[in-house]
Structure 1
Amino acid sequence: MNSFAIHAGSMFDGFASSGPVTVYVRGDRIVRVDRSGALPADNTEVIDLGSRACLLPGLIDTHIHLAFDAGPNPVTSLAATSDADLLAQMRAAARSALHAGITTVRDLGDRNYLSLTLVEELAEHPEQGPEILAAGPPLTTPRGHCHFFGGEVEGTEALRAAVRERHARGCAVIKIMASGGMMTPESVPPHASQYGLEDLRTVVDEAHRLGLPVAAHAHGVQAIRDALEAGVDSLEHVSFLSADGVKADPALIEAIVESNTFASVTAGLDPSVPIDRSKGMGARGQTIFSTYGTLQKVGAKVVIGSDAGIGPVKPHNVLPHGVADLVREGVTPIDALISATSLAAQLCRVEGRKGRIIGGADADLLAVNGDPVKDPAALLDVRAVFRAGIRVR
């Protein structure tokens, strides 16, 4: 069993920052955190990352699609790719995320439950990718948003059966498309609802009975309202779209703040890729980003789900840019880091094991050059990545 210590000039432990630190690792777990920063007095192997290095918990992306290739036409590419080739593509996407310091992801939509195959592979070889919390094919209406993943279902009993199937297969979360979406022209518009309140309640009740959380894709105001009332665990995108544009309802924002529901905001764009403003990433996109900042500042439980894979601006390693996006909207860097670590772990039901640096937690760690609490751009200057106690970068 491997045993070593990591020394760094500073640490963000998932909640707060501190000075020099030495973290002791045995096997795949953290066994001790010495906040004095003293080096071990015995012959323990030391990985000294230097005084400029900051050690953080591995980042958590709460919304990713490993099955999308982050190309200009991901849906077309998906349809043209065999399951064997798609799985190989997903392996590469997982490695890309891991090497950026993203050590846990929620995969919220795949085809034929391929993400569960990857889950099994990574259980044997964790150094090859992040821990994946998979939803399998998302629940959607016939010809509804992302129907091409194979999760079309309608009617109370069919919805219950679909939840049970995903539980039986080993999925970690249920994903439902409460509203239409931007990648499926044949679905209803993104601001329109696909499922009503009673259908959403059916899914939430069955999932919670089986111990699974529910993530609701919800762009439209009514879809957000219904999903919140149904008791979903996370609102994905939470864009407040209406037929007339973006309309953030203050009363609905307050209801989100007062609820137990997380807002999984879609942040993170690769700045090196030109933005296609025809797909809502211009003025409307900026209004949505401003709403994300408002949600965070008024006390909503905001986490960052990059939606990685859906286009060239969304490569699978894009999450660190999402932290910077929140900061640009007035969120403090430390709160943005919390959103991508300890708070995300709480949503994903891996709290205590992921998203923090403490004895007993998984040895999933990221080291960067610089201080991300002062400048989130430091997250892009990766010094080292550890997954399950194995250094992968």
Structure 2
Amino acid sequence: MRPAVSAAPARFNVRMLAIRAERLFDGVDAAPVTRPVVLVEEGRVTEVLSEAEPPNGARVVDLGDATLLPGLVDPHVHLVFDASTDPVGHLAAMDDDAALAVMRANARLALSAGITTVRDLGDRDYLALRLRAELAADPTAGPRVLAAGPPLTTGRGHCWFLGGEVVGGVEAVRAAVRERAERGVDVIKLMATGGELTPGSSSHVPQFTVEELRAAVEEAHRHGLPTAAHAHGAAGIANAVAAGVDNIEHGTFLTADGAEADPVIIRAIVDAGIPVGISVPQKPSPGALPSPGIVKRLPFIIAVFRELRAAGIPLVCGSDAGIGPVKPFDALPYGPAMMASMLGMAPVEVLRSVTSLAAEVCRVGDRKGRVAAGFDADLLAVAGDPLQDPAALTAVRAVFRAGVRVR
């Protein structure tokens, strides 16, 4: 439902910010709010008006013929990587201070693109928690960060170099989850299969057993934490579903040389109500190309994603930013248009996938992903109308973080 709109009340408030535009997508409703005025105080939206004048005394920002929408939510980034052709090698050559400097720059780039919340699903040495604290103290320096710390993986498994190797079965897995909970992470990341970024690891091959994954999920939930499982191959996806993970990342059903959906596993995902994060976004750039393996498998992957959508599984758009040149930290806004083109999704569906739906998956849906009273004043303004053409998300006019204009 669209948040209630009303005529402007008569009041005088010099602390109030009034942001005007031609139209507004509130994060949910397919029908835009026409000629909106968004009222902001102390970093929160207090009211959304339609076809009304700003209150007397408010500081007015008139964005003209632009569309306002919630700041974007990227549920899958790796701020510690540099989006180069060798992100793993470059990180290995950095000490923590140098890596943290890279993360700060990546966070600024994301914010400049209108991405106001990111979920970091794998760092080294819990550096994302340090950055989270910095940005909480100065929201204008970057998005809100939700951090997983080093992802749990098997011995020399996918992304072992981030320091999250777990060897020793169920009890070792439980201990690793407890350590992260004690450090204050926001989510537990589980590597249910191998991945393309790690030599000696294969995306279609499962890593943890169902029992180990279930132990991780149970321990995470005991500490009030959600779980996100990196899972490409069918066996790993099935293990993650059986273990009760809260969301699956990738969900490509990769095989050794292609991708093939399994209808039985898809039905299990549907029955469990698990959303799938698909890392579709790529930013066009001269000389920046995805890995040959992904290019070869892409037609099969698209067919899989079409089957997931047809089954009614919520698809969330995440960038997986940092892992290569086509995945810089401002790539997310390119994803919705790609989803619409490849999967036949309506503009409102793909916009929700980077706003309200993404916020819900990240467990911040009560504060992020919508423009409504009580929500954080994290806002993006773009030229054109993304409800007609999602590619408009890349035409940034303005970005507000906690009510402060940062672009």
- TM-score w.r.t. the length of structure 1 is 0.96
Aligned to 1:62: 75
Question: CA, structure 1 residues 68+77, in 2 after alignment: closer, same or farther (shift >3 Å)?
Answer: same
Q: Is the 8 A contact 1:178 1:217 kept in 2?
A: yes
Between the aligned partners of 1:177 and 1:194, the Cα distance in structure 2 is 7
Between the aligned partners of 1:179 and 1:226, the Cα distance in structure 2 is 10
Between the aligned partners of 1:195 and 1:129, the Cα distance in structure 2 is 34
2:295 to 275, 278, 282: 282
- 2:389 matches 1:375: yes
Q: How far did 1:273 drift?
A: 4.1
Aligned to 2:124: 111
Q: How far did 1:292 drift?
A: 2.2
- 2:339 matches 1:323: no
Between the aligned partners of 1:348 and 1:41, the Cα distance in structure 2 is 34
More moved, 358-367 vs 283-292: 283-292
Q: How far did 1:255 drift?
A: 2.3
Provide structure 1 residue ranges, at least 5 long, that are not aligned to the other structure. Answer: none
1:336 to 350, 367, 370: 350
Aligned to 2:222: 209
Q: Deviations over 1:89-131 (max 9, x none)?
A: 0000000001100000110000000000001101110000000
Between the aligned partners of 2:213 and 2:406, the Cα distance in structure 1 is 41
Aligned to 1:150: 163
Aligned to 2:35: 20
Aligned to 2:275: 262
Between the aligned partners of 1:260 and 1:98, the Cα distance in structure 2 is 31
Q: How far did 1:305 drift?
A: 1.5
Structural mapping, 1:1-393, within 5 Å: 2-16=15-29, 17-34=32-49, 36-50=50-64, 52-154=65-167, 155-187=169-201, 189-274=202-287, 276=289, 278-329=291-342, 330-393=344-407
Question: CA, structure 1 residues 221+14, in 2 after alignment: closer, same or farther (shift >3 Å)?
Answer: same
Q: Is the 8 A contact 1:270 1:313 kept in 2?
A: yes
Q: How far did 1:48 drift?
A: 0.6
Question: What is the number of equivalent residue pairs in this alignment?
Answer: 390
Q: How far did 1:278 drift?
A: 4.8
More moved, 38-47 vs 200-209: 38-47
Q: Is the 8 A contact 1:353 1:361 kept in 2?
A: yes
Q: Is the 8 A contact 2:77 2:322 kept in 1?
A: yes
Between the aligned partners of 1:259 and 1:265, the Cα distance in structure 2 is 18
Q: Is the 8 A contact 1:275 1:281 kept in 2?
A: no
Q: How far did 1:229 drift?
A: 1.2
Q: Deviations over 1:14-42 (max 9, x none)?
A: 111232110000011001111x2312241
Q: Deviations over 1:155-191 (max 9, x none)?
A: 211111111111111100000100001011123x110
Q: How far did 1:293 drift?
A: 3.5
Q: Is the 8 A contact 2:80 2:103 kept in 1?
A: yes
Q: Deviations over 1:204-230 (max 9, x none)?
A: 010011110000010110000110111
Q: Deviations over 1:28-71 (max 9, x none)?
A: 1001111x231224121110111x21000011111000000000
Q: How far did 1:2 drift?
A: 4.5
More moved, 130-139 vs 10-19: 10-19
Secondary structure at the aligned position of 1:39 is classed as: coil
Secondary structure at the aligned position of 1:208 is classed as: helix
Q: How far did 1:280 drift?
A: 2.1
Q: How far did 1:252 drift?
A: 1.9
Secondary structure at the aligned position of 2:294 is classed as: coil
Between the aligned partners of 2:233 and 2:257, the Cα distance in structure 1 is 11
Question: CA, structure 1 residues 277+271, in 2 after alignment: closer, same or farther (shift >3 Å)?
Answer: closer
Secondary structure at the aligned position of 2:276 is classed as: strand
More moved, 128-137 vs 271-280: 271-280
Between the aligned partners of 2:152 and 2:286, the Cα distance in structure 1 is 31
Q: Is the 8 A contact 1:59 1:355 kept in 2?
A: yes
Secondary structure at the aligned position of 1:153 is classed as: coil
Question: CA, structure 1 residues 280+14, in 2 after alignment: closer, same or farther (shift >3 Å)?
Answer: same
Q: Which amino acid aligns with 1:227?
A: A
Q: Which amino acid aligns with 1:109?
A: G
Between the aligned partners of 1:119 and 1:386, the Cα distance in structure 2 is 18
Q: How far did 1:275 drift?
A: 5.5
Q: How far did 1:285 drift?
A: 1.8
Secondary structure at the aligned position of 1:282 is classed as: helix
- Percent of aligned pairs with the same residue? 55
Between the aligned partners of 1:296 and 1:2, the Cα distance in structure 2 is 45
Q: How far did 1:325 drift?
A: 1.2
Q: Which amino acid aligns with 1:186?
A: G
Q: Is the 8 A contact 2:322 2:328 kept in 1?
A: yes
Q: Is the 8 A contact 1:138 1:176 kept in 2?
A: yes
Q: Is the 8 A contact 2:260 2:300 kept in 1?
A: no
Between the aligned partners of 2:267 and 2:351, the Cα distance in structure 1 is 23
RMSD between aligned alpha carbons? 1.3
